[in-house]
C-alpha cells in the first residue's frame, strides 16, 4: 500500500485530507518529522488559511528544507495554500517568500473582475468546473468535473520562465480564467480541495496515489 506523508505545518484540514486519502487507497502518516517524510512513498502539502502562517510553521519545523529535498525523488502533491507555497512568493500580507519550486506568485483575486454582470465576491467559495486538455495519468477521468474551492488568492506562474512551459494543466473561471492545477516534474498541485470534492476528488487522489514517475 502506498504510504503518503501528510505534512503537518500548522495549517490545513489534516483529518479531512487523511480520511480522503485513506478512502482513495493510501496509508497515511500525519507528520512534520523529516524521517517520516523521507521514508514515505509520496508527500502531500495540505493548506487552509494564511500563507504567512504556513511558511512560518514550515520553516520552524524544517518542513521547507525537507520538501525541497524529497521533491527531487518523490511525487509531491499540494492543495490550496500548499499549492501557493510552491511558488516564489505570495502577495498576501505584503510579499511573503515561499518555497520557490515554481516560478511565479500567488495573487489576490481582483474585485473588479465580473461574473454574470456583477463584480466577483472574494473569497471564491463553492463548486466550480475544472477543465483540462491534459492526457496525463493524474487527470484521467477528471476532466470537466466540479471541484470545491475556497480561496482569495490564485497562483500566477511566470509565463516568461521556460521551465513553466506546459505547467498549467487545468483551469477554472471566476471573473477570469485562472490556474486551477499544475504539474511540474514530480509536483502535482491543485487550487481546489479534492478532499471536499466527493467522487471526482477521490478519483483525483487515487490517480495521485497510483502515479508512477
Annotation marks residue 131 as catalytic: no
> Which 3 state secondary structure label does DSSP give 150?
strand
pLDDT in tens, the chain (213 residues): 999 999 998 877 899 999 999 999 999 999 999 999 999 999 999 988 899 999 999 999 999 999 999 999 999 999 999 999 999 999 998 999 999 999 999 999 999 999 888 899 999 999 999 999 999 999 999 999 999 999 999 999 998 999 899 999 999 999 999 999 999 999 999 999 999 999 999 999 999 999 998
CATH topology classification for 3-209: Rossmann fold (3.40.50)
Active-site position among 92, 179, 193, 198: 193
What is the distance between the alpha carbons of residues 213 and 207, in angstroms, rounded to a whole number? Answer: 12
What is the distance between the alpha carbons of residues 84 and 81, in angstroms, rounded to a whole number? Answer: 5
| Phi, psi at 210, each rounded to 5° | -95, 0
Active-site position among 61, 80, 98, 179: 80
Annotation marks residue 56 as catalytic: no
What is the number of other CB atoms lying within 10 angstroms of the CB of residue 126? Answer: 11
Q: What are the residue boundaries of the structural domains of the chain, listed by start?
A: 3-209
Annotation marks residue 92 as catalytic: no
> Which 3 state secondary structure label does DSSP give 32?
coil
Cell of 129: 468546473
Amino acid at each position: 500500500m502506498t504510504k503518503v506523508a501528510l505534512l503537518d505545518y500548522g495549517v490545513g484540514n489534516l483529518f479531512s485530507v487523511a480520511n480522503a486519502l485513506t478512502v482513495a487507497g493510501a496509508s497515511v502518516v500525519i507528520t512534520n518529522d523529516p524521517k517520516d517524510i523521507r521514508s514515505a512513498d509520496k508527500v502531500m502539502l495540505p493548506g487552509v488559511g494564511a500563507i504567512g502562517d504556513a511558511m512560518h510553521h514550515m520553516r520552524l519545523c524544517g518542513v521547507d528544507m525537507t520538501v525541497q529535498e524529497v521533491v527531487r525523488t518523490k511525487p509531491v502533491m499540494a492543495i490550496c495554500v500548499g499549492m501557493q507555497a510552491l511558488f516564489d512568493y505570495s502577495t498576501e500580507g505584503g510579499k511573503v517568500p515561499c518555497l520557490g519550486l515554481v516560478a511565479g506568485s500567488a495573487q489576490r483575486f481582483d474585485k473588479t473582475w465580473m461574473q454574470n454582470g456583477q463584480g466577483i465576491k472574494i473569497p471564491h467559495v463553492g463548486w466550480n468546473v475544472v477543465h483540462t486538455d491534459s492526457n496525463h495519468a493524474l487527470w484521467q477521468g477528471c476532466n470537466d468535473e466540479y471541484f470545491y474551492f475556497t480561496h482569495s488568492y490564485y497562483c500566477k506562474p511566470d509565463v516568461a520562465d521556460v521551465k513553466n512551459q506546459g505547467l498549467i494543466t487545468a483551469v477554472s473561471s471566476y471573473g477570469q480564467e485562472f490556474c486551477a492545477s499544475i504539474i511540474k516534474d514530480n509536483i502535482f498541485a491543485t487550487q481546489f480541495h479534492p478532499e471536499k470534492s466527493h467522487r471526482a476528488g477521490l478519483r483525483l487522489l487515487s490517480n495521485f496515489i497510483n502515479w508512477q514517475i
